[in-house]
Structure 1
C-alpha cells in the first residue's frame, strides 16, 4: 500500500511540532521536510534549524515517518571558462550542499534526499551536460555509502519525462540512486501515469502529486491532472513508497492554509489506492 505524505511547502509558518501533530491528525503516514540548508530563514520547519535527535523524537513520538528531505540542489552548473574554470569557479558547491543534506538526513533518520539534474545551459550540448550531472552525482553517492540514506533525482528542466530521468540513472548506474517522479511535470511533457510507472519500474522510490484546475492549484481530485489514475497505477505495480502531496503555499502565499487543504488528502489517496486494487477495503484517515 502507498504511504500518503505531504510536503512542508504547504505550511512554511508551522513549527516541526505542528507538522508532526497535523500529520498524525490528518491521517498521513509520512511527511517530506523541505530544507534550504543551515542558517536558512525561508521556512520555520526546516529541519536544519533543529537538533537531529529532537527531529527524530518528534516524528517517532506520533508514529509518522520522515519520507524524504527535499532540497533545491541541482548539478547542471557549467564550468566557465571550460579549460581553467575548475580553478576559478566554485563548481562543487552543489556537491557540498548535497553532502550536507545527506548528513542531515542521516541524523534525523530520513531515508531519501531529493535533488535535481536540471537544465541545459546556453550553448551547452545535452551529452556534455548529462556527463557533468552524472559526474557530480557520483561524488554525492559515494558520500552516501554506509549512511542509510539514498538519493532520488526528480524529473524537471531538461529531463521532464520519466524516460529522461531514467537516462540519468542509466548513465550513473549506482544502487543508491533512484527517482522522485513529479506527476505534473511529467504530464506537461507528455507522460501518462502508466507509461511513467512502467518506464521507472523498481527505480521509482518517491512519487509526487498536486492538482490544478485551469492552471491554478486546487483541492486534490478537483483538477485536471490524472492524480487518481497515477495513484491507481502505482498501486497496480505494487509501489509501497510515499506519495507526496504538494500544496505550494511557500511559493504562493495567497493560497489557502494547510489546515484547510490537507485534512482530506490522505483519505483521498487511500480511497484511490483501494479502488486500484480490487478486494481492498477503502481506508479512511487514521
Structure 2
C-alpha cells in the first residue's frame, strides 16, 4: 500500500517539515495542493528557481510527488478562464516532466443550472485542448469524483466522450459514498478500469453545517473505509492511497501533527 498526503492538510508546514513527517510515518509521497498560502505552486521559488533543490530533498528522502493537484475545471463557459486553465496545465506539465510525476488532478466543475447534455458538450470541447497539453507533456489528467461529477455515471460520460489514454480517474472514496449515496462496488464497477489514484477521508452525518457531514479522523466516522480498502486490494489496485485532510477548508479539524500520523497508522492497520 503506497501512502501519500496532500499539502491541503498542512498549510503552515514548510517543505522540510512535510518531508520529515512523511519519512517518519512511512509515507511514499506528498501530493501538492498549494504550498505556503499559494495554490499555484509553480509561482513559488521551491518549484521554479529552486526546484532543483526541492527535487534533491525528495530524492534524498526517497519520496515521490505522485500527483500535482491543480485547480483546473473542465466545465467553464469563459474563454478567458479556459485559457487560464490551459496555462495552468502547461505549468504543471513542466513540473511533472521535471519531477517525474505521472498525474495532474483536475475537477469537472460546477455546472449550475446548465442542462447536463449541454454541460457535457462544453466539457468535451474544453477537454480536447487540455488533453493536447497532457499528450505534449506525456502526463495523465485525473478527473476527480467531485462537485457536479461525483456520480460514477457522470464521470463515465466524460470518459466516453474523451476516449483518451491521457484521461483517467481519481476516486475520492468519500464523495460518491457520502454525497451521491453510491455503493463502493457501483463506483468500481463503472470506473474501476480507469481508476489510477485515490483520495481518503472519513466523516459522519452532521446537519449543523451546510455540507451535511463533519470530517473526522480516520475510523471515527461511518465511511466504510476497511470495506473500500479490501475492495481495492481484491481488484489489484496498485496506486496511491492519499490522505486529503482538508485543513485549509475546515480550519477547526485536528492539526496535521495529529491527523497525518493517525492516517498512516490507521491505513497500515486495515491494509
Which category of TM-score, normalised to the shorter sequence, fits these structures?
0.7 to 0.9
Cα drift, residue 255 of structure 1: 2.2
Kindly report which structure 2 residues correspond to 1:1-286, keeping only aligned pairs within 5 A, or say none.
2-35=1-34, 41-42=37-38, 46=41, 48-49=43-44, 50=46, 51-79=50-78, 90-122=81-113, 124-187=114-177, 188-214=179-205, 215-273=213-271
**Which of the pair has more CA radius of gyration?**
1
Q: How many angstroms apart in 2 are the aligned matches of 1:142 and 1:103? A: 14
- 1:45-70 CA deviation, whole Å, 9 max, x = no partner? 94641133222222111112211111
Partner of 1:277: none
Inter-partner Cα distance in structure 1 for 2:102 and 2:82 = 27
Retained in 1: the 8 A contact 2:89–2:133? Answer: no
- Asked if the contact 2:145–2:176 (Cα under 8 Å) also holds between the matched residues in 1, the reply is yes
Secondary structure, aligned partner of 1:92: helix
CA shift, 1:90, in A, is 5.0
| Contact 1:141/1:177, CA 8 A, preserved across alignment | yes
Q: CA deviation at 1:141?
A: 1.6
TM-score where L is the length of structure 2: 0.88
Q: 1:158 to 1:34 in 2, by over 3 A?
A: same
- TM-score, normalised by the number of residues in structure 1: 0.83
8 Å contact from structure 1 (residues 56, 108) kept in 2? yes
Aligned-pair CA distance for 1:94: 2.0
Alignment gaps of 5+ in structure 2: 206-212
1-structure distance, mates of 2:258, 2:103: 28
Distance 1:217 1:166, change over 3 A: same
**Number of matched pairs:** 259
Structure 1 residues 136 and 207: alpha-carbon distance in aligned structure 2, compared to 1, 3 A threshold: same
Give secondary structure in 2 for the equivalent of 1:34: coil
Distance 1:113 1:135 in 2: 19
1:140-197 CA-to-partner distances (Å, cap 9, x unmatched) read 2211225342110112222112222121111101101100111221012021122212
What's the C-alpha RMSD, in Å, of the aligned pairs? 2.1
